[in-house]
Amino acid sequence: MRRLQHGIATWIEDRTGIGYLWRRIVSGTAQKHGAWLRTTGVACLALILVECITGPILSVYYTPAPNAAFRTVQAIEQNSLGHFLRGLHHWSSAALIILAFFTVARMFFTADYKATDGRRRDVVWIAALLFVQVSLLFQLTGHLLPWDTNAVKTADVEAGIGGNVWVFGPVIKRFILGGASTGSATLARWHGLHVGLLPLLLTALVGLPLLAHRLRGEDTAAEVAADKAEGFETEPYYPFHLAREMVVALAVFLVIAGMALFAKTPLEQEAVAANLDGYTAMSEWYVLPLHALTLVPPFNNVRLEPVVTFLLPAGIFAVLFALPFVDRNPSHSLRRRPAAAAFGSVTVLGLAGLYLFAMLTEKQAATAPNAGSGPPASSVVASVVAGQKLYQVQGCDGCHTIAGKGGKGGPDLTHAGALHSDRIWQIDHLKKPDSKVPGSTMPPYAQLKKDDLAALADYLVNLK
């Protein structure tokens, strides 16, 4: 039996080299000091694996279209297994951001970005910085997919921040939204990024540096001596540190699984005109500090807003990116790096303060009555219903198609609200079509009463 097992193992090894690869991965040493803090990389890899398993399963039952996305997510939630898988996917994405920020902070304060006796860590450091950015994009694009009120409103806010950047703002906003406003093009674009490009980038940014670091093999005598000079005691990576990484990865997964089972995965009302009018969303937790700065004078002025939403984050990222190349202080001890200690402390405390400030101010704004924001939701619902009846009475379905029903003489209005979500635009277009669509052959409806025009406009805006 042993000879058979040995023969099979030899046959596989001769053709794949997997045994050699495994020996290279588990070779080398790891520092005992702060060993548990150095386990987040494998935990991130485990969470990405969860995302890459649950995401495709959920995609089978999801339709990335404004008129169907919310209902498909609702159907997923009504199934116990679907609820669990969606919870795993949602909370894993949030945990990735937390672990990514923690990893960057840990590497900064312990100077793990520095080269020591030939061991270059700049690629790992840069990959960690990029991993934070891609994790944020992953969460941001996934947040829109349920197509509920909070998702659409916060997407408008994020696009508005990009649109305020000097000179290039309009181009950035149109690129983000895929058009002039949040609609079907936005959902299709963000869905494509979320399920296609971003998972590959996340896997590469966390997997390749980890693999490259382990494939280096045994540490040289100079590297071991350097660790001892810094006062760091080392131990074999396998089985000691590998066991720590497995324990932490399992613990993180169990926490995520518990939240998926017992915590409510966010899902609000469907993003239709009746629910969006008068709705004010609170910024997502991962961008709250950035939004808090836009509430502080003078940066609450739209002209100065890009200073804190674009220049400040870009400046911090540039400083961190350059650290492995400009920091010549050989010490890893924080006490011997006063400038790094001051910069890191100010950044962390500043983020914490901004987070608390934003929680207090934005939560109050999100729950306060929205004076002057439009008619009550119940009034809008009645207006949409009245508009639907008027659409049929006026014979609009003789020229236009909605959800496959109607005439072919005019444009398909199935997603009219996604194309033009502005109620005023719809009213002006009804009154004088060629003023909004040059060359339009649609007859004007200026003779309709003001309330009837408003009802028709509400109905059209609701078609998404």
**CATH code at 419?**
1.10.760.10
Residue 284 lies in a domain: no
- Same domain for 264 and 402? no
Structural domain span for residue 420? 377-461
Measure the CA–CA gap between 33 and 44, rounded to whole angstroms.
21
> 270 pLDDT exceeds 50?
yes
Q: If pLDDT is split at 50, 70 and 90, which confidence band does 232 have?
A: low
pLDDT for 369 equals 38
Measure the CA–CA gap between 328 and 116, rounded to whole angstroms.
11
- DSSP summary character for residue 234: E
- Same domain for 54 and 201? yes
Residue 368 lies in a domain: no
Residue 357 lies in a domain: no
- Same domain for 40 and 179? yes
What average pLDDT does the segment 396-402 reach? Answer: 83
> 244 pLDDT exceeds 90?
yes
Spatial contact of 73 and 146, defined as CB atoms under 8 Å apart: yes
- Same domain for 386 and 265? no
Residue 264 lies in a domain: yes
- Same domain for 183 and 67? yes
> 378 pLDDT exceeds 60?
no
Positive or negative: CA dihedral 437, 443, 444, 448: negative
pLDDT for 236 equals 81
- Same domain for 23 and 168? yes
Q: Which of 13-27, 231-245, 387-401 has the lowest mean pLDDT?
A: 13-27
For the chain, how many structural domains are there in total? 2
Report phi then psi at 235, rounded to 5: -150, 165
Domain CATH for 57: 1.20.810.10
Q: Domain boundary residue among 220, 245, 271? A: 271
Q: Which of 67-71, 144-148, 308-312, 331-335 has the lowest mean pLDDT?
A: 331-335
Spatial contact of 327 and 114, defined as CB atoms under 8 Å apart: yes
- Same domain for 176 and 40? yes
Q: Domain boundary residue among 226, 248, 271? A: 271
- Same domain for 383 and 245? no
Residue 230 lies in a domain: yes
Residue 149 lies in a domain: yes
Residue 327 lies in a domain: no
Residue 279 lies in a domain: no
Q: Which of 20-29, 63-72, 121-130, 368-377 has the lowest mean pLDDT?
A: 368-377
Q: Domain boundary residue among 271, 304, 332? A: 271
